[in-house]
Amino acid sequence: MLIGIGITLLVFLLMEVKAWLMHKYVLHGFLWNLHQSHHTPRKTFWEWNDLFFAYYGLLAMLCFIFGTENLDWRFWTGIGISLYGLVYFVVHDLYIHRRLKIFGKTGNSYLRALDIAHKVHHKTRGRNGSESFGMLWVHPKFFRLAKQKNSI
């Protein structure tokens, strides 16, 4: 069980690396035509970009299907992917993009830094020139900006 929890935490952390790489090199690369909907003003609740949830959901589902019988590493990998997906949904879609209006402004420096980093990422509407491609890891410069805004 302890090994399973370790695998889950490791996969969760590796998902941030995978998300960063996918976002920078795939979504802003050859799959820009799907991700572009996320960088333009939303006219509907859904975006083409939402299809990427299906990709990660399929990965997690396959891990559960093939790892449930013995509760092996695939099962715990599925949990790690699913937890990252849940955190992504809450942080990115609900908090940062306010797809459902359940979060207000916060004085928390980490959440403010996440919000600022994401706004900087979206400042560039095209596929090139963006920065800050991760979801949970924030460059220290955004913490400095968040602290400055909290002290104003």
Which are the contacts of 53, defined by CB distance < 8 A and separation ≥ 6? 85, 89
Which segments of the chain does DSSP mark as H helices, in order?
A: 2-21, 32-35, 51-67, 73-88, 109-123, 140-151
From residue 47, alpha-carbon distances to 38, 52, 118, 149 in Å are: 7, 10, 17, 31
pTM of the model as a whole? 0.85
Task: Give the whole-angstrom CA distance, residue 2 versus residue 74.
Answer: 15
- Cβ atoms within 10 Å, residue 128: 7
* Region of residue 132 (phi > 0: left; psi between -120 and 50: alpha; otherwise: beta): left
Number of structural domains the chain divides into: 1
Nearest to 135 by CA among 98, 110, 106, 108: 110
The pLDDT tens digits for 95-143 are 887 877 787 777 788 888 888 888 888 887 777 877 888 888 888 888 8
Res. 152: pLDDT tops 60? no
The pLDDT tens digits for 28-83 are 999 998 888 888 777 777 888 888 888 899 999 999 999 999 999 999 999 999 99
Rounded to 5°, the CA angle 33-43-107 comes to 95
Query: What is the domain range of residue 26?
Result: 2-151
Contact between 75 and 10 (Cβ < 8 Å)? no
